[in-house]
Chain A
């Protein structure tokens, strides 16, 4: 069934179709409609879930962890300052192996106070042991929530499904809503091997000395390393059922490209339009949209980069003192490998500043004029 919906409601529908059993969330602009619709679905019986109201995002994530330990499929959503307030609990969910799925609307961190898009909120949480999926359309949001539960529960690793503020969260797009019966087939009920129940008392997250802690972390890393293959496998399975493959990366016209953009989020879709226009003017351009940031798809990135002459990594974020965060990851993906192209890092679109096809053409012109990788980070559209 096709339906026009905003990105925030795409998250709500994803949680509903996944038959989330516990939802605990605190509203924050620009995420609020996610929670509003889910609370309506819970109250009118569309979704048979417990909705736990809380006084903060820290408590929201704490409630989700409790519900997940008790064996419930658990969903929440937040944004920016709310995600930052959850930080301690994010480590707890990741380290404790609680497969919660969370929607995060990418909103810039204050100050200056902002409700507009960039990725610094979610990328600041990269080391918390969560998978991170970056979406470029509302269709991808619905589909990815469903897939994220499947992967998260198989690996017992929580997952964030991430969408840009306003450009997706408040933008209405046509979404082919997956059939509930087919979703049920794809995503069977959550049945953890062990859970918190009075019939079988256990302690979770207890004091762990140096003789055991490192093994827990080793297992988290090695299980995270299984995620790329599992994301691709479950993505192909999703494609067989619903007609839309979900992968780690989305390469566009890269096979014969001299030059590519490396992008993420909605900018990764706008880049396609720029690629088509550049091709018309004789530039063999391409675009590699990175959909999954954690685990980082090193193999897939190398496969594409190995075929091109130059790449511009476009970041809607900044790790101050080190530049764009995707840029650093892409550099580390190709480190020490022969036949890899020069990379140039660009920062654009912070605080919701628009990233347009013209922004990409400016990046392409700058990158083509350079004959080697530059240490300097290039800022696009900054008033100087």
Chain B
């Protein structure tokens, strides 16, 4: 069983990222469960989403308190909240950032990986310059770093689940997958 927590801000597509990853993982005949924080989302405020992955049916319907990995979609959250809360020792933290892993205070205690998903999203004209939609690039990096699924499965999940600019989103995910 692998448990992952995602941190983003309302409106960035964090929940959609978790849903796309769940789709990609399910395409490889694994069991998966994805859910947003149980509450009311507001644009701009911190939001949390979760994924559970297993080779067998997942019966645990309680929330995730001690994730194996954490994904930070919005780098400003690193200063705003404790994104390491409950993270298992030695867990991986994947951050959307142009900084180096060693620039983060929890580097060493946890495995930190960075991916500049914002730059990739801007390059592929996803969202606007002010609010680029980074979720497919993040999904590409997470898929590779955590070995969740093959790139083809992720691309298929994006084509199924992203209503507009599906091919540009596949390109962004592919670029992030290859960079990560």
Binding site for B on A (CB under 8 A): 2-4, 29, 115-116, 136, 164-168, 170-174, 266-267, 269-270, 272-273, 352, 354-357
Give Cα distance in the complex from A171 to B34, angstroms: 6
Q: List 13 A-B contacts (CB under 8 A).
A: A3-B26, A4-B34, A136-B61, A167-B35, A167-B61, A170-B38, A171-B61, A172-B18, A172-B22, A173-B58, A269-B60, A352-B38, A355-B62
Q: Does A166 contact B38, Cβ atoms closer than 8 Å?
A: yes
Q: Does B40 contact A166, Cβ atoms closer than 8 Å?
A: no
Chain B residues with CB below 8 A from A136, complex form: 61
4 more A-B contacts (CB under 8 A) besides A167-B38, A171-B33, A172-B19? A4-B26, A166-B38, A174-B31, A174-B32
Chain B residues with CB below 8 A from A269, complex form: 59-61
Give Cα distance in the complex from A170 to B22, angstroms: 14
Contact of B26 among A2, A166, A168 (CB under 8 A): A2
Nearest CB of A to B2, in Å: 15
| B101 CB–A CB distance under 8 Å | no
Q: Does A273 contact B60, Cβ atoms closer than 8 Å?
A: yes
| B36 CB–A CB distance under 8 Å | yes
Q: Which residue of A lies closest to B35 (CB)?
A: A171
Give Cα distance in the complex from A2 to B30, angstroms: 11
| B74 CB–A CB distance under 8 Å | no
Chain A residues with CB below 8 A from B23, complex form: 4
Give Cα distance in the complex from A136 to B33, angstroms: 13
Nearest CB of A to B3, in Å: 13
Give Cα distance in the complex from A168 to B35, angstroms: 9
Give Cα distance in the complex from A272 to B56, angstroms: 14
Give Cα distance in the complex from A356 to B61, angstroms: 8
| B63 CB–A CB distance under 8 Å | yes
Q: How many A-B residue pairs have CB under 8 A?
A: 62
Chain A residues with CB below 8 A from B40, complex form: 29, 115
Given A2-B26, A4-B23, A4-B26, A170 and B62 contact (CB-CB distance below 8 Å) = no
Q: Does B26 contact A174, Cβ atoms closer than 8 Å?
A: yes
Binding site for A on B (CB under 8 A): 18-19, 22-23, 26, 31-36, 38-40, 58-63, 65
Q: Does B60 contact A357, Cβ atoms closer than 8 Å?
A: yes
Q: Does A4 contact B32, Cβ atoms closer than 8 Å?
A: yes
Chain A residues with CB below 8 A from B18, complex form: 172
Q: Does A172 contact B35, Cβ atoms closer than 8 Å?
A: yes
Q: Which residue of B lies closest to A116 (CB)?
A: B38
Q: Which residue of A lies closest to B51 (CB)?
A: A172
Chain A residues with CB below 8 A from B35, complex form: 166-167, 170-172
Q: Does B33 contact A173, Cβ atoms closer than 8 Å?
A: yes
Q: Which residue of A lies closest to B29 (CB)?
A: A2
Chain A residues with CB below 8 A from B32, complex form: 4, 172-174
Chain A residues with CB below 8 A from B65, complex form: 356
Q: Does A354 contact B26, Cβ atoms closer than 8 Å?
A: no
Q: Does A172 contact B61, Cβ atoms closer than 8 Å?
A: no
Counting chain B CB atoms within 10 Å of each CB, the highest count among A4, A171, A267, A352 belongs to: A4
Nearest CB of B to A30, in Å: 9
Give Cα distance in the complex from A309 to B33, angstroms: 35
Nearest CB of A to B93, in Å: 23
Nearest CB of B to A361, in Å: 12
Chain B residues with CB below 8 A from A170, complex form: 35-36, 38
Q: Which residue of A lies closest to B58 (CB)?
A: A173
Give Cα distance in the complex from A352 to B39, angstroms: 10
Chain A residues with CB below 8 A from B58, complex form: 173
Chain B residues with CB below 8 A from A266, complex form: 61
Nearest CB of A to B85, in Å: 16
Chain A residues with CB below 8 A from B22, complex form: 4, 172
Q: Which residue of B lies closest to A138 (CB)?
A: B33
Chain A residues with CB below 8 A from B26, complex form: 2-4, 174
Give Cα distance in the complex from A60 to B26, angstroms: 36
Chain B residues with CB below 8 A from A29, complex form: 40
Q: Which 3 pairs across A and B sit closest by C-beta, in order of nearness?
A: A266-B61, A166-B38, A171-B35
Q: Which residue of B lies closest to A265 (CB)?
A: B61
Q: Which residue of A lies closest to B20 (CB)?
A: A4
Give Cα distance in the complex from A269 to B32, angstroms: 15
Give Cα distance in the complex from A96 to B39, angstroms: 38
Counting chain A CB atoms within 10 Å of each CB, the highest count among B33, B61, B65 belongs to: B61
Nearest CB of A to B4, in Å: 13
Nearest CB of B to A1, in Å: 11
Given A4-B22, A4-B23, A166-B38, A172 and B33 contact (CB-CB distance below 8 Å) = yes
Give Cα distance in the complex from A161 to B63, angstroms: 23
Give Cα distance in the complex from A174 to B63, angstroms: 18
Q: Which residue of A lies closest to B57 (CB)?
A: A137
Give Cα distance in the complex from A223 to B34, angstroms: 40
Q: Does B34 contact A267, Cβ atoms closer than 8 Å?
A: no
Q: Does B59 contact A270, Cβ atoms closer than 8 Å?
A: yes
Give Cα distance in the complex from A270 to B62, angstroms: 7
Chain A residues with CB below 8 A from B36, complex form: 170
Nearest CB of B to A273, in Å: 5
Chain B residues with CB below 8 A from A166, complex form: 35, 38
Chain B residues with CB below 8 A from A2, complex form: 26
